Chain A
Amino acid sequence: MEALSNQILVAVTFTFMAASVLYLCHWAFKSKVFGWAASGVTWAAFAVLTLAIILRWVASHQMGIGHAPFSNLFESLVFFAWTIAAIYLIIELVTWMRAIGAFTIPLAFLAMLYALSLDPAIKPLLPALKSNWLIAHVITCFLGYAGFAISAALGAMYLATGQAKDPASPRALVLDNLIYQTVVVGFILLTAGIVTGSIWANSAWGTYWSWDPKETWSLITWLVYASLLHSRFMRGWQGKRMAVFSLVGFGCVLFTYFGVNLLLSGLHSYATGKS
């Protein structure tokens, strides 16, 4: 079953690639057919990815080391792709702006591609990782990361499609509002992720905050988005500034996620691809 799940994950990766190409075609040629095809393929990829994650969960139980599939870099990347697709599909259902897919679904594809380069074996959990707070922590963090990823994709779209030239156009206003909405979702979930992480740390290590690099970088990311929200609420920052800010914020998210594990050392060392 583990092998089946892994094979499905390979297929999902290429399905996300196909969906990315279709969304890009839809955006480039303004073609409805490509748009419908892209949505169909993405929904299929999302459904099958959900199945693969469930299979992996079941497989771990059959191996006698059952745990939720959120325990290492491989599993987190797969889940990250899932959260990006989930949040994007919600936005598509609400706004019917399929061009957004051309900027967001490639991120899901890249996350899956990175996952495929890692060891997919299901491994038993270290004692420190055996906690329900871990599951809550990973789910909230990665939904938050996905919110930020999509806000950055929207920011890139805002800049790439030249909305800054006419920030009062309906399309520019909708994009600006979506950037704000996704940042808010990301911010609330990142906060919840930091809180559940603290609760977990408190029960595993006896301290809710130890300034380890991963924690500190999540705080840095939080501070950057807190400044973004204050600049919008108190100074009325919109449009191009919001778009650039969302890209900077996502840079911090990426460093928190990957950079800390690759470049710095700390308690989160089990979240690396090694061992």
Chain B
Amino acid sequence: MSQDQPRKPPLEKIWDFFASVKLSFFLLLLLAVLSIAGTLIPQKEGAAAYVRAYGEAGWRFISALGLQDLYHAPWFVLIMALLAANLVICSLNRLSLTLRILGKDPAQEAGAMRKAKDSFNLSGEPGTNLDRARRVLERLVGPSAQAKDQERTVLFAQRGGWSRFGVYVVHTSVLVIMAGALVGNFWGYAGFVNIPVGQSVDHMTLDNGQPRPLGFSVRLDKFDISYYPNGMPSEYRSEVTFIDGGKETQKSSLIVNDPAEYQGIDFYQSSYGNDLKAMEVDLVRDGKKQRLTLKARAINQLPGGAKAAIQGWRERVEMGAMYKGPVARILYQEAQGEPQAYTAFTPGVKMPQPGPIKFEIVKLQTEPYSGLQVKYDPGVWFIWVGCTMMVAGFFIAFYFSHRKVWLRLGPAGQGRTRVEIAGATNKNRLGLTRLLSRLAHELGGGPKKAE
């Protein structure tokens, strides 16, 4: 630490702030704590659900902070960006140190032997033992360098220096994964298509409700559900054909867990159901019935200037003993009058109705459809590359170490050689101790056995 610390240029201060491990520690735990909040508050619900759960004031607080979509809130993304900056600057700071360590001249390192951990005498002059010692050292550790220490000779070898890069592989992998998420966010899109059997679509509906052209058509040829003997569904399968420029270009079979890809766009089996085309209803007024056919997703002009539309429907509802069957919500407007909503059931049901008329469901015209999730995500390969890098980096960072070994051979008198062994490592001292005792054993020093 320098004496005139307060006079550091501001840029350097910012750099030091981002280079600190304390900041990484703080940001990692902060992200953990904030993520907990996101698992306690239900995410991406409608406003009404929050008002019900937390009250009007609670909802104002939640929406002001963006807690209803916490993981995409600007401040959450900002904290992740800070972590990324911290990661980059921290790593760059350390990288220069690592490069300096790895760039050291071996001959110079040979001259800077550490404190000896082990020593023993061998028969024969140092000159005769030197070659053998070098061979053993090079076999167990790596290429050697040599230095003179008065009348003694020091041999130096190292191995696993590359493992110092493991931590950078891991840190880079985090950045690659973050980049993948960003790429997916900016250039990817997701939504769904519901395709009735035998028909084709050329548009998808994005998650925000907007339509988007696919650039080709998808036709649903067949939809199948198979069941286990106990009645549980075992497989949903959609057979589809991709049609490009009027030509059938690809046939695919989609099941859950096995999507199909066409021109980089992935299709996932996600749901199925019946789509309403039209509904036959009876308009009942003073006991008289008038049969009408109402088209779905349309305003139906009725004889006499009235209008009707199907607002919503369910193929089957169960209201205890009262009712089991289809239900529809019909919006109806007389030629002169206000629109009024009616709930329609099958005939013969005693249900309170608002007003003098009621609707009875006669027939539903539905067709089965298969619901496919549609996704284009150019960032997904970044994610898999990042994940692979991360796991590989962990193995390098945790299970390999940079070991340095010194052997000093000098005269021990009476024609014998004094051997001293020293070592250094950046981690896993136990592994180094084993390496040194194996080295001593192979050189013929003492009864130590290699573990």
Q: Residues on A close to B: CB < 8 A?
A: 64-65, 123-128, 130-131, 177, 184, 187-188, 191-192, 195, 198-200, 202-209, 211, 213, 216-217, 219-220, 223-224, 226-227, 230-231, 234-235, 260, 264
Judge whether B353 is part of the interface by a CB distance below 8 angstroms: no
Q: Please judge, given known A-B contacts A195-B387, A205-B373, A224-B29, whether A216 and B259 are in contact too, CB under 8 Å.
A: no
Is the pair A230, B373 in contact by a Cβ cutoff of 8 Å? no
Is the pair A211, B270 in contact by a Cβ cutoff of 8 Å? no
Is the pair B35, A220 in contact by a Cβ cutoff of 8 Å? yes
Is the pair B258, A203 in contact by a Cβ cutoff of 8 Å? yes
- The smallest C-beta distance from B95 to any residue of chain A, in angstroms, reads 15
Q: Please judge, given known A-B contacts A206-B268, A211-B43, whether A124 and B71 are in contact too, CB under 8 Å.
A: no
Is the pair A204, B256 in contact by a Cβ cutoff of 8 Å? yes
A-contact 0/1 string along B365-407, CB 8 Å cutoff? 0000000011100001001100100110011001000000000
Q: Please judge, given known A-B contacts A195-B391, A223-B29, whether A202 and B380 are in contact too, CB under 8 Å.
A: yes
C-alpha gap A184/B393 in the complex (Å): 13
**20 extra A-B contacts, CB within 8 A, seeds A124-B230, A204-B257:** A123-B232, A124-B234, A127-B256, A127-B269, A128-B256, A131-B257, A184-B394, A195-B390, A195-B391, A204-B268, A206-B259, A208-B380, A208-B383, A211-B71, A216-B39, A219-B32, A220-B32, A224-B28, A227-B28, A227-B32
Q: Please judge, given known A-B contacts A128-B257, A207-B190, A213-B39, whether A192 and B29 are in contact too, CB under 8 Å.
A: no
Judge whether B187 is part of the interface by a CB distance below 8 angstroms: no
- The smallest C-beta distance from B205 to any residue of chain A, in angstroms, reads 14
Majority DSSP secondary structure for residues of A touching B: helix
Is the pair B28, A230 in contact by a Cβ cutoff of 8 Å? yes
Contacts of A130 in B (CB 8 A): 235, 256-257
Is the pair B228, A227 in contact by a Cβ cutoff of 8 Å? no
Contacts of A264 in B (CB 8 A): 39-40
- The smallest C-beta distance from A39 to any residue of chain B, in angstroms, reads 22
Nearest A residue to B427 by beta-carbon distance?
Answer: A233
C-alpha gap A199/B387 in the complex (Å): 10
- Which of B25, B29, B234, B380 contacts A127, CB < 8 Å? B234
- The smallest C-beta distance from B398 to any residue of chain A, in angstroms, reads 5
- Which of B36, B232, B387, B398 contacts A220, CB < 8 Å? B36
Is the pair A206, B28 in contact by a Cβ cutoff of 8 Å? no
Contacts of A128 in B (CB 8 A): 256-257
Is the pair B259, A188 in contact by a Cβ cutoff of 8 Å? no
Contacts of B270 in A (CB 8 A): 205-206
Is the pair B394, A191 in contact by a Cβ cutoff of 8 Å? yes
Judge whether B85 is part of the interface by a CB distance below 8 angstroms: no
Contacts of A203 in B (CB 8 A): 257-259, 268
Q: Please judge, given known A-B contacts A211-B43, A219-B35, A223-B28, whether A127 and B236 are in contact too, CB under 8 Å.
A: yes
Judge whether B450 is part of the interface by a CB distance below 8 angstroms: no
- Which of B36, B71, B236, B375 contacts A207, CB < 8 Å? B375
Contacts of B259 in A (CB 8 A): 203, 206
Judge whether B103 is part of the interface by a CB distance below 8 angstroms: no
- The smallest C-beta distance from B192 to any residue of chain A, in angstroms, reads 9
C-alpha gap A211/B73 in the complex (Å): 13
Is the pair B39, A206 in contact by a Cβ cutoff of 8 Å? no
- CB contact list, B67-91 vs A, under 8 A: 71
- Which of B43, B229, B375 contacts A64, CB < 8 Å? B229
Judge whether B21 is part of the interface by a CB distance below 8 angstroms: yes
- The smallest C-beta distance from A134 to any residue of chain B, in angstroms, reads 9
- CB contact list, B321-335 vs A, under 8 A: none
Judge whether B198 is part of the interface by a CB distance below 8 angstroms: no
C-alpha gap A177/B24 in the complex (Å): 24
Is the pair A216, B228 in contact by a Cβ cutoff of 8 Å? no
- Which of B235, B375, B430 contacts A206, CB < 8 Å? B375
C-alpha gap A198/B385 in the complex (Å): 13
Judge whether B116 is part of the interface by a CB distance below 8 angstroms: no
C-alpha gap A143/B65 in the complex (Å): 38
Is the pair A216, B387 in contact by a Cβ cutoff of 8 Å? no
Is the pair A217, B39 in contact by a Cβ cutoff of 8 Å? yes
C-alpha gap A260/B296 in the complex (Å): 41
29 A-B interface contacts by CB (under 8 A)? A64-B228, A124-B228, A124-B232, A124-B234, A125-B234, A126-B233, A127-B235, A127-B236, A128-B256, A130-B235, A130-B256, A187-B394, A188-B391, A191-B390, A195-B387, A202-B380, A206-B190, A206-B266, A206-B268, A206-B374, A208-B380, A211-B71, A216-B35, A220-B32, A223-B35, A224-B32, A230-B28, A231-B25, A235-B21
C-alpha gap A230/B174 in the complex (Å): 15
Q: Please judge, given known A-B contacts A205-B268, A205-B373, whether A127 and B255 are in contact too, CB under 8 Å.
A: yes
- The smallest C-beta distance from A209 to any residue of chain B, in angstroms, reads 8
C-alpha gap A203/B256 in the complex (Å): 8
Contacts of B398 in A (CB 8 A): 184, 188
Is the pair B39, A260 in contact by a Cβ cutoff of 8 Å? yes
Contacts of A126 in B (CB 8 A): 232-233
Judge whether B48 is part of the interface by a CB distance below 8 angstroms: no
Judge whether B38 is part of the interface by a CB distance below 8 angstroms: yes
- The smallest C-beta distance from A78 to any residue of chain B, in angstroms, reads 22
A-contact 0/1 string along B259-271, CB 8 Å cutoff? 1000000101110
